[in-house]
Amino acid sequence: MKRALALSALVLLVGCDALNPALQYQEAARQLRFSLDRVEPQIELAYPLERSRLRLRLEVGVDNPTDQRLRTRRVRGDLRLSAQGGDHALGAIGFPEGMDLAPKSRSTLRAEVVLSYADLKSAWGPLTAAATRHEPATWSLNGEARFDVLGIEFGVPFRTSKASGR
C-alpha cells in the first residue's frame, strides 16, 4: 500500500514525462513540419512506349522547431499528381536512410525514384504535360516518419504538396 501511495505522489510531483521520457520525444516528433521542396520529373521516352520511364528527384524538407534531437528510422509516403482535372496515384516513395534532425534546425531528405510506363499508364498524359510542357500540376506526398526512441517505435503522419508549372 505504501508503495502505491509513494508512486502516486511521485507521479503528481514530477509528472508522467519523468516516468516515460519517450513521451517528450513523441511530442517533439509531432511538432515536425514537412515540406515538399523539390520535385524534378524527367520523362525518359523509349520505343515501344511500354519501355518508357519517369525519373523523379524529390527533396522533402523537415523543420524541427523543438529542443529535442530526433532521428528517423525511415520515411515513406504515397506520391500523387493532380493535373488536367484529375488526381493520379503515382506510387509509394521511400527514403531508406535514417535522418538526424538537429534541434531548432532544418534538414532535407532526398530520393530518386524510377517508375515504369506500366506503373503509370493511366497518369501518363498528365505526367508528360507536367514534366515536359510545364503545365500546372500539384504534387503531393502523404506519408509517415517512423522513430525509435528508447526502444519505443512510433510514427508521425505528414502531408505536403508542391505546385509546379506556369
- Domains, the chain: 21-164 (2.60.40.1820)
pLDDT, tens only, 114-127: 988 888 888 888 98
Whole-number Cα distances in Å, 2 to 6, 9, 13, 16: 6, 10, 16, 20
Task: Give the residue-averaged pLDDT of 17-23.
Answer: 66
Predicted confidence at residue 4, as pLDDT, reads: 47
Predicted confidence at residue 139, as pLDDT, reads: 96
Q: What does pLDDT average to over the chain?
A: 86
Instruction: Give the residue carrying C-alpha cell 517528450.
Output: 24
* Residue 8 DSSP SS3: helix
